[in-house]
Structure 1
Amino acid sequence: MDHPPRYAVLFRTHVWDSFIERQFARLRQIVRHGDVHIVANNTAGTCPPVAGLPFMTFTESELEAMGLARGGEGEMLWNNVDYALYYFMKACPDYDYYILFEYDVMANIDLDAVMAKVLDDRADLVGTTKGPPLKNWWFRQTCADVYPEDDVVKMLLPLGIFSNRAVRFLFEKRLSMSARLPDGSARNWPHCEAFIPTELSLAGFKLAELSSYGAIERYSHEPAYLEDDVKTPAVDEFIHPVLDTSRYIASAIRYEGRPETYFIPGSPFRRKLARFPRGFYMPLLRDAFRRRFVSLNQKLRRLLAEWYGSVRSGRVPSIFH
């Protein structure tokens, strides 16, 4: 390719509000020659097109009409962020590269310069493999009976850069996998952050690390960063997730496995919430306490049932010795 890459940035969201609009405006500031599009899941009707903005909306039924399955547990697009990529490419197939850019990513970088380097590197996928080792990765279990364990590759992809040929290849693979799901021949459904890098790696595509193009010290799945704290990221830095106040509080509570530490003066969790008025977080915190109590109660019941069964059989579990 002897010309600068023609690329599209897909700002992915499922809702539109003032925070999402600010994030979109920030994205536009770092793109000079690429085309920026809002690619929105409007299944719930929470993200209709906004006049004057480059919107492309879709629904889950439209994705299914393309032959894509509702694979994985929970929300269709949570398991399959790549579906938005296929939907957009079907309408706009001629870009050299496509960038999936989640609404909670913030970057202070020249994306044109990044894409020129990606082209020089002949990379087909750019993401990051940082995070827990594969053996401790939650989504590893979605790959069981689909890929040999040694073949599985994981990548965090709130920002993912894809070559045209990589998107076409992945789309065909997802269609093939979708066709096998109803008859039971596809017993598991690999989460997108395993499916994408694993399939491309197995097929010989070139994978590259996002850290080759910018700093990622504050780029992970959590902890979240409050929008007001990172209004000016470092030069050439990617940050994720960046959230407004209400989303930040919800994220902090969701990822705290022991919400009872709120009652410990000076605990990191208490300090994180203490900067906000109690009314902002107490309803969510009460829900977290309730879920924690139910979880601990269920665990205790299982342990007592195990102990009772062991006593009846004359064998006391080691945890009770």
Structure 2
Amino acid sequence: MKKKTAVLFKCHNWDSVIQRSYERCKRHSNKSDFYIVYDSTKGVVEIPEHIQKTENIFLAPYLAVENLGLAWGTEVGNYGGYWYNGDYHQNLFIINNPDYDYICSVENDVVVLNDFDHIFEDMDSRNIDAVYKHVGAENHAWAHSGSCEGYYDLSQHIHKGLFCISFFSRKAALLILKRRLEMSVLKREKGLLTWPIGEAVMSHEIISAGMRTEELAHYCDSLRQYDWAPVYLEKEIINETEKTFIHPVTEMNEKFIVSNFVQDYHCMISEEEISNGISRHRSRKINDFEAYSRLFHCPRIYNNPVLREDVVDDARELLTGVDFDLASEGMALDWPQALGQVYSEYPERVCASLPSYDRSHAMFFDREVTLQVSLGADQAYTLILAARDPDLTSHFDVKCKGEISSFENVPVAFCQQKGELRFYAVNFPAKSNEFVVEQKGPDGFWLNFMKILPTTDALRALSTS
């Protein structure tokens, strides 16, 4: 008899990347019932209406979890919710749909390039109850081991796994639900402050019960882009013909930035990735002005002149349009002369080849400080300024003059935003030979980036748009 299978595509929001991940996921699950499992805790469902009308939508507000009597997390550290309890979506689903023989739970930031039907069929033929990526770390080397205290014997090995995409038999899924309910009672009865993370519970309970598991890698050509981090962009997918799963994949957002330029786990600023050339390869693949800039200013790159120039060379080779202009070599400034000896140190990061997004690298222009710069009178120049301040232009005026004329105001135009930085452009006429940036108002302002460039058609269009 044909086994009944379901694929659960889990999400709590919707964007263009999730849309494409959903489409890939569905293409690879032809013989299974397909569900979008949506966390509607916020009371808003962002799934497009046409998809809501045609797909099976299983709403999973967190209230439904609490109504089952399931505990949600720890009182210490405020861990909890669906991120911490990765089994809870499927717990709700299987208790409402117990007739499925096998289910696959897949997070919305997984790129699916593999066939679900084959995996389900293999599980059935070999009596496999769970498929996931096993994590072999010893208890002392795993960050979440402490969460298991009071529920498992920490002197013994706790089985662990990565469940971004995972497959379960009905027996395994119901066991996880049963044990979570028993743990919830135990937590309340003993007043435990800990709560085991789902990545331990789903693996340890199944293996402890003597059920058979299989490595996710068994069904893949490779899993080289599958881990909890770093975050990838879609353009980084190495080979779409390869049988694999890739995780996590998002759009260029805060999650991507933090994962690659703040956290230090196989990310673009990690020493191993830089040394092996992986970071440079990824930045070229991404080919984004902000990504180049953030990589350029990380200490392991910036403090090495060779690596630093490599990043700039890549940006100037591959970027186009305004981004290329912003990365181009600018006019060297005599800062003591320009600032009248007010600043004792050269503001290196502000005038670097690429802008720094680090707040500590910004330069503060105090009250009554002016910046006066001489220009070559043989061509037109554009001044580029960048800062976080959305009202930057209210803090100063820019004036320029030619060989004969006196200083006259020139407009400062917002041209574009790159991540947290807003870029402004000031075009000077070809006959200008000097400009000055003068404070207006009682407050100073912070500046992250400044560059003087020969005016191009792209820069001219930006500052006049």
Q: Distance between the aligned counterparts of 1:181 and 1:255, measured in 2?
A: 32
- 1:104 maps to what in 2? 109
Is 1:207 equivalent to 2:207 in the alignment?
A: no
The aligned counterpart of 1:87 is: 92
Tell me the CA shift for residue 91 of structure 1: 2.1
Asked if the contact 2:136–2:159 (Cα under 8 Å) also holds between the matched residues in 1, the reply is no
Whether the aligned pair in 1 keeps the contact of 2:138 and 2:157 (CA below 8 Å) is no
Structure 1 residues 170-179 or 210-219, which shifts more?
210-219
8 Å CA contact retained: 1:71, 1:178: no
> Whole-Å Cα distance in 2 between the matches of residues 284 and 26 of structure 1?
36
> C-alpha separation between the residues in 2 aligned to 1:189 and 1:12?
22
Q: 1:237 is matched with which residue?
A: 244
Secondary structure of the 1:129 match is strand
Alpha carbons of 1:244 and 1:186: their partners in 2 closer, same or farther (altered >3 Å)? same
The gaps in structure 1 that reach 5 residues or longer are 290-321
CA contact (8 A) 2:21 2:112 kept: no
Q: Which runs of 5+ in 2 are unaligned?
A: 295-354, 362-465
Equivalence for 2:457: none
Structure 1 residues 219-240: Cα deviation after superposition (integer angstroms, max 9, x where no partner) = 1112222211217434321211
CA separation in 2, counterparts of 1:284 and 1:17?
28
Q: What SS does the aligned partner of 1:107 have?
A: strand
Q: How does 1:34-113 map to 2 (within 5 A)?
A: 34-48=32-46, 50-51=48-49, 52=53, 53-72=55-74, 73-113=78-118
SS in 1 for 2:144: helix
For 2:152 and 2:9, locate their aligned partners in 1 and report how far apart those are by CA, in whole Å.
Answer: 31
Q: Aligned pair in 2 of structure 1 residues 288, 193: CA closer, same or farther (>3 Å)?
A: farther
Decide which structure has the larger Cα Rg and report it.
2
Distance 1:231 1:55 in 2: 31
Once the two structures are overlaid, the 10-residue window that deviates more, 222-231 or 270-279, is: 270-279
| Partner of residue 263, structure 2 | 255
Give the SS at the match of 2:100.
coil
Specify the alignment match of 1:297 in structure 2. none
Q: Deviations over 1:203-258 (max 9, x none)?
A: 2121221112223222111222221121743432121112222243342134237x
**2:130 touches 2:169 (CA, 8 Å); kept in 1?**
yes
Query: Counterpart of 1:245 in structure 2: which amino acid?
Result: M
User: SS in structure 2 opposite 1:20?
Assistant: helix
Give CA deviations for 1:149-175 in whole Å, capped at 9, x if unaligned.
324100011011111011111111111
More divergent stretch after superposition (12-21 vs 175-184): 175-184
Q: Which residue matches 1:277?
A: 289
Structure number with the bigger relative contact order (C-alpha 8 A, sep ≥ 6) is 1
SS in 2 for 1:63: helix
Higher strand share: 2
User: Partner residue of 1:14?
Assistant: 12
Question: 1:167 aligns to what?
Answer: 173
Measure the CA separation in 2 of the matches of 1:226 and 1:195. 30
SS in structure 2 of the partner of residue 128 of structure 1 = strand
TM-score, scaled relative to structure 1: 0.78
Measure the CA separation in 2 of the matches of 1:255 and 1:220.
14
Does the 8 Å CA contact 1:86/1:171 hold for their aligned counterparts?
A: yes
Equivalent residues in 2 for 1:139-218, closer than 5 Å: 139-149=144-154, 150-214=156-220, 215-218=222-225
RMSD across aligned C-alpha pairs, in angstroms?
3.2
Distance 1:187 1:28, change over 3 A: same
The alpha-carbon deviation at position 186 of structure 1 amounts to: 3.9
TM-score, normalised by the number of residues in structure 2? 0.55
Q: When you count helix as a share of all residues, which structure comes out higher?
A: 1
Give the deviation of 1:45 after TM superposition.
3.5
Distance 1:284 1:197, change over 3 A: farther
After superposition, the Cα gap between the structure-2 partners of 1:198 and 1:125, relative to the gap in structure 1 and judged at 3 Å, is: same
Question: How many matched pairs?
Answer: 285
In 2, distance between residues paired with 1:222 and 1:238? 14
SS in 2 for 1:245: coil
Q: What SS does structure 1 have at the residue aligned with 2:199?
A: helix
| Distance across 2 between alignment mates of 1:84 and 1:147 | 23
Contact kept? 2:283, 2:291, Cα under 8 Å: no
Match of 1:313 in 2: none
Task: Give the counterpart letter for 1:155 in structure 2.
Answer: G
Tell whether the 8 Å contact from 1:48 to 1:57 is kept in structure 2 after alignment.
Answer: no
